[in-house]
Structure 1
Amino acid sequence: MTNAISAHGLALIQELEGFQAEPKQLPTGGWVVGYSHVRTEQPGEAVNENEAIELLTGDLATFETLVNTLVTQPLTQTQFDALVSFAFSVGSEAFSKSQVLRRVNANDYLAAACAMEAWRKSDVGGELAIIDSLVCRRAAEKALFLKQLPYAAAPSVFVRPQLDHAAMILGAPVAYTPAPEVGTIAPQQPKQEAAQRLTEILSSEPATEALLLTQVIADEAVEQDGEITTAHAKPVARLDFEPPIAPRCSKPVDKKSLFSKFQFKNEQTVGEVVMPASKAMSAESLGLAALMLCGLGLTGTAVSLLITGVGDVADYAGAAALGTPGIAGVLMAAYGLWRSPRAKPALVQA
């Protein structure tokens, strides 16, 4: 069965969208006139209310077809009107991917109505904010959607409501942002490509461009351990965790100075005391140990929540939210400690 918007639904959308007689420019380009009718080429002439209603009726036809095509469950007239208004507000792509549509097609109309309330933010000056008008619109669409849905009476003295912690997650925001007036937000400027921006910077600073494009190699450049050492580039010290054993010394080894003769491949002097690889890796080991302790703490908190909680959905959800990263942190820390390399210092002749 193909549904169509009713006169009541059309009047609600007119009230929620607001009437604009004169074309006003949009931040994304184009002009809006009447009841959210967009002109892309030219602003055009002003319209009266009858002309605006005709434009709105033509725009809603696309969303009537969309709802009739995507919804697989039977709908009452008020449910259809509410879904058309909701789809017209959020857009075709967002509606097709929304939980509202999924819940409707799953024959869960109450959950679908509640899912509408999540769509209350909009981009205002480059930042997402909760808009008071969107909160009111979602409430009107939700009420219209549930208007003809049958429900059983529930005496308050018998069914006393309790606080729903899951609903508090969505909850009331700290502050609302009033809906900006149409035409008050300047059109967005196209963003420059990174390469184009870099070209402009270099062209404005010739000295910087010349420096970046000049490759300087000093005459005294020498190759050392497979690396070229110049005045402009020094080799980065590498910590070799398995240095070769130095040739045996014919002289007897002084046991007192045995531990003062450790040397690694990345050092250029012999006979100095250098930091063992174990100390170099101590920071990483401390980090892994801290990660393991944090993971154990989260896991313990999750277990405590399961034991001391009342066993409702909120307890299980909280335990899962704490236990999952906790167990993951313990496993990653254990794996990191197991894979940590261990340096093998070599003795070299002084």
Structure 2
Amino acid sequence: MKTSQRGIDLIKEFESLHDGDLKKTGLQPKMDPVGIWTEGYGRAMHDDKGNFLKGAGNKASAEKRATIFTEKEAEEALRQDLEVYENIVAKKVRVPITQNQFDALVSHTYNTGGSDGLFKLINDRAAGAAIRNWFVTKYITAQGVKLNGLIRRRKDEADLFFAK
């Protein structure tokens, strides 16, 4: 399966187009709520060793490493990145799912890296209430603080998962 436009729109809504410095021409890297530098639609940036590029002290490094400067480049990068997360969902889910369910899981995995707990509930064909509860109560914090954006995202992912 491939992520539908509905799934892409959900990801774009919550990731938003990152521009960390509106005074500069083009898109600029931006730190996410846990201090990871991102560009485009939430693409995490890495140092030379493959570690997340983190912290305000790495702003110059993030700007130097940036590869996404236009909305078109951000869109292309998102579509490339989605292949990774689509493959994770395809490998982890072993039961038939709908397009909406796939899209919700790709959005969740794009944001969190995926959760074996959620995949297990789905593969075990858990009750809808248990799956919905999992969506809306997990991965809603950053550094121990509940974030309204994550709460809204998890609710919207759950709503998409159960949409007909």
The TM-score normalised by the length of structure 2 is 0.76
SS at match of 1:22: coil
Higher helix share: 2
> Paired residue for 1:10?
8
Counterpart of 1:51 (choices 73, 88, 93) is: 73
Q: Which structure 2 residue ranges, 5 or more long, are not aligned?
A: 19-26, 48-63
**Taking structure 1 as reference, are residues 130 and 66 closer, same or farther at Cα in structure 2, changes over 3 Å only?**
same
Q: Deviations over 1:142-166 (max 9, x none)?
A: 1100002xxxxxxxxxxxxxxxxxx
Superposed displacement of residue 51, structure 1: 0.8
Residue identity in the other structure for 2:142: S
> Paired residue for 1:140?
156
Aligned pairs for 1:61-140 (under 5 A) are 61-92=83-114, 95=115, 97-98=116-117, 100-108=118-126, 110=128, 111-119=130-138, 120-123=140-143, 128-140=144-156
Give the alignment's Cα RMSD to 1 decimal. Answer: 2.0
The higher relative CO (CA closer than 8 Å, separation ≥ 6) is in: 2
**Taking structure 1 as reference, are residues 87 and 101 closer, same or farther at Cα in structure 2, changes over 3 Å only?**
same
Q: Deviations over 1:205-255 (max 9, x none)?
A: xxxxxxxxxxxxxxxxxxxxxxxxxxxxxxxxxxxxxxxxxxxxxxxxxxx
Residues in 2 aligned to 1:40 and 1:49: alpha-carbon distance in whole angstroms: 21
Q: Which structure 1 residue ranges, 5 or more long, are not aligned?
A: 149-350
> Paired residue for 1:22?
28
- Is 1:60 matched with 2:82? yes
> Would the aligned equivalents of 1:29 and 1:40 in 2 still touch at CA under 8 Å?
no
Question: What is the total number of aligned residue pairs between the two structures?
Answer: 138
> Paired residue for 2:54?
none
The TM-score normalised by the length of structure 1 is 0.37
Identity %: 30
Residues in 2 aligned to 1:131 and 1:53: alpha-carbon distance in whole angstroms: 26
Residue identity in the other structure for 2:103: D
Superposed displacement of residue 82, structure 1: 0.3
SS at match of 2:95: coil
> Paired residue for 1:158?
none
Superposed displacement of residue 55, structure 1: 0.7
**Taking structure 1 as reference, are residues 76 and 130 closer, same or farther at Cα in structure 2, changes over 3 Å only?**
same
Superposed displacement of residue 116, structure 1: 0.7
**Taking structure 1 as reference, are residues 25 and 131 closer, same or farther at Cα in structure 2, changes over 3 Å only?**
closer
SS at match of 1:116: helix
SS at match of 2:28: strand
